[in-house]
Structure 1
Amino acid sequence: MTQQEHILGGKKRRSEDLKELPENRPAMLLSAIYLGEEQKVYLKFYDLHEHSICFWRDRTNHKPYCYTKMQYFETVKKIIETEQKFTLEQTKKTELITDKEIDILKIIAPDPLSIGGTDNSIREKVTSWEADIKYHENYLYDTGLIPGAYYFRKGEEISNFEHQISDKVQLELKNLLWDKIKEEAGGIGNQQYQQYITSWANLLNQPIPDLRRLSVDIEVESEEGRMPTPRDHDRTVIAVGFAANNGFRKVLVLDQKKTQYSIPFIPEAEVCNTEKEILQKAFKIIDSYPIILTYNGDDFDLPYLYARSQDPRIDPITKLVIPKDEVPIIVKRETFVKRGTLAEPVQTRHGLHIDLFRTFQNRSVQLYA
């Protein structure tokens, strides 16, 4: 789940109120994010003891990079002479087409946008490799960290933590695999196969924690023939519904006082006098859960809630918006409001947001799940 994130217009550094990964107890790695103001990757962990999200700042001094071939050396040299933020290293890689080791150039940058993402990025100026990989994914690959696996912090270092797999699984592995693999003298292939199987078996048999999670869905005033969008955000939020795996159920409903019929609400409903009251209460609930689930929440629910929170129309009397440090929703700048597009998933300040619509759009999930 993880990308360059900003608190839009906020002056407070995000890292100041992030709970740090505690020592001496295992935590599950969920994702990685990049904080542009610090030019650092932060890892998101799930603390099984407190059922909350905690963070760990990179201590390895990892930097964004890409590769180019030696034939482009003169071009790269001119770029580096002009833009001194880049550094250059010569290294070796195996070229898959020829299956030979070749000399290549590694271009190291201070931030991901210097590699790719703008018209002035290095990949727009010279033919590059690995310049399209999202930086947080590159970081996880280089460090060998696996989302969904457990880690243990001791001092300034984190290391793998593996729960012992059950005797039943061990016995099944022995009966199905180990007894059927005939060890040959010097049989490196069989040894490697057994190592891979063991590694995957240990990883896939790690316990799955009962993650504390909350589903969110919103309802907006409708207009015939037109769908509301976060870009325009001109329709009132009239309800926000919540359901959590700990039994919590609530629906915040706007008291519109327009209907001539008195329809009783469900017991979980809470009537709010203004849209601003709905949003403020919704944000407090969202901020209290580590995992937020939506369906199409990246493109509608969460960006719409954020956009309305910054619209003076939510408070007809004072015209005051909700302060941004009280809004737990994090988006990548404000391009989705201005252009109606959203390049990156929306996240929450102290948690993790999962849009199930995007999950079910994955072809692998559609075919095999």
Structure 2
Amino acid sequence: MPNSSEKIILKGMLFDADYIDAGGKAWVRLWIKTEDGGTVVVYDPNFEPYFYAIVDENYDINLIREQIEKINGIKRTEIVKRKDYGRERNVIRITANFPKNVPNLREQVKNVEGVLEVREADIPFAIRYIIDKGLHPMDGVECVVEPIERKLRYPEYIAHEVKYVPLDKEYPLRILAFDIEVLNPEISVDPEKDEIIMISYATGASENEVGIFISENNEKKLIEDFLELVAKYDPDIILTYNGNEFDWPYLKKRAEKYGITLKIGRDGSPLLIRPAGFIKEARAPGRALVDLYIIVERDLPEVKVKTLKNIAQYL
């Protein structure tokens, strides 16, 4: 709950967006950078997950709407007009109780007789919010907010209004790059048995700190030292090279061996590694985990063998 009735206008750069479960209700969470390089968190509790059902025009759309409303987990429905391949038609807009319910609801709605297809159910909740609000990541945002009791290490606010404004200046970002080294005389390494012996890192701050953590037969401390660096330096962006496929999964697996949770998220949440098509994606709320190998693979076809050393020499 707000701890002050005073509303303020907050301007900054939208850096990341996700949502939290606030007592069974989804609150959009915006991670916003301020012009002094700080981070603030803005919650919007007034946005709801929704998707659309396209109905066979030979059926009574009102009867189908009634059938859909009987499905558990649906908050409400309404008939709205939408463009369908250039032609305006009536469709059913379905609002869910919670974003995580949408995949299951989508399948149930598909099975209702008279429903031809379901649309926009695969758009992630936070992305849906950004689209509907006309916001742009890494661009300006203006919020009318009230401060609330802080639970994170950053100032937190409840939003009354959120809108896009063009960014009129550069905002400083804190950047951390790291690379792990694993010892194994064989060609391939196995996270079940092969230890990390070194983590090298560099920051993008004005001091341009470069450092190395060495195991010295204590891999557990090596991992803890790295997590302490992340917590203390608090980077906005963490750079790796093939980190999605190697560094992050390997580090996560080795940390689990010692009962360590890789709390990389700015909210203290653990590193999330999930499939993204044919590759893996590492995610951490409030930070951008950027795998430079993906960019190199896309933009530098002239470099045939894309080792980190080869790319560094090429650039």
Residue 239 of structure 1 aligns with which residue? 198
Please list the CA deviations of residues 275-312 of structure 1 after superposition, one character each: whole Å capped at 9, or x if unmatched: 11111110111222222111222233223323322213
Higher fraction of strand: 2
Question: How many Å separate the matches in 1 of 2:143 and 2:65?
Answer: 40
Question: How many Å separate the matches in 2 of 1:135 and 1:344?
Answer: 20
User: What amino acid maps onto 1:236 in structure 2?
Assistant: E
SS in 1 for 2:83: strand
Evaluate the alpha carbon distance shift between residue 149 and residue 245 of structure 1 in structure 2; reply closer, same or farther with a 3 A threshold. Answer: same
User: What amino acid maps onto 2:197 in structure 1?
Assistant: I
Question: How many Å separate the matches in 2 of 1:107 and 1:361?
Answer: 40
CA-atom RMSD, angstroms? 3.4
User: What amino acid maps onto 1:90 in structure 2?
Assistant: I
Question: How many Å separate the matches in 2 of 1:47 and 1:360?
Answer: 30
Match of 2:119 among 129, 138, 143: 129
Residue 219 of structure 1 aligns with which residue? 181
Deviation at 1:151, TM superposition (A): 2.1
8 Å contact from structure 2 (residues 14, 136) kept in 1? yes
The share of aligned pairs that are identical, in percent, is 22
Q: Does 1:103 align with 2:90?
A: yes
Match of 1:146 among 136, 154, 160: 136
User: What amino acid maps onto 2:121 in structure 1?
Assistant: A
Q: Does 1:85 align with 2:74?
A: yes
Q: Does 1:295 align with 2:248?
A: no
Please list the CA deviations of residues 304-347 of structure 1 after superposition, one character each: whole Å capped at 9, or x if unmatched: 323322213xxxxxxxx236668856344x878xxxx9987323
Residues 52-201 of structure 1 aligned to structure 2 (within 5 Å)? 52-59=38-45, 61-71=46-56, 73=61, 77-96=66-85, 99-116=86-103, 121-122=107-108, 125=111, 127-155=117-145, 156=159, 157-162=161-166
Please list the CA deviations of residues 339-365 of structure 1 after superposition, one character each: whole Å capped at 9, or x if unmatched: xx99873233553322223344557x9
Higher fraction of helix: 1
8 Å contact from structure 2 (residues 134, 163) kept in 1? no
With 241-250 and 32-41 compared, the bigger mean Cα shift is at 32-41
Match of 1:47 among 34, 42, 48: 34
Question: How many Å separate the matches in 1 of 2:92 and 2:106?
Answer: 20
Evaluate the alpha carbon distance shift between residue 47 and residue 330 of structure 1 in structure 2; reply closer, same or farther with a 3 A threshold. Answer: farther
Q: Does 1:310 align with 2:300?
A: no
Match of 1:278 among 214, 222, 227: 222
Question: How many Å separate the matches in 2 of 1:103 and 1:159?
Answer: 29
Residue 289 of structure 2 aligns with which residue? 353
Residue 189 of structure 1 aligns with which residue? none
Question: How many Å separate the matches in 2 of 1:128 and 1:25?
Answer: 37
Evaluate the alpha carbon distance shift between residue 235 and residue 322 of structure 1 in structure 2; reply closer, same or farther with a 3 A threshold. Answer: same
Question: How many Å separate the matches in 2 of 1:239 and 1:107?
Answer: 51
Question: How many Å separate the matches in 2 of 1:151 and 1:56?
Answer: 11
Q: Does 1:254 align with 2:240?
A: no
> Whose Rg is larger?
1
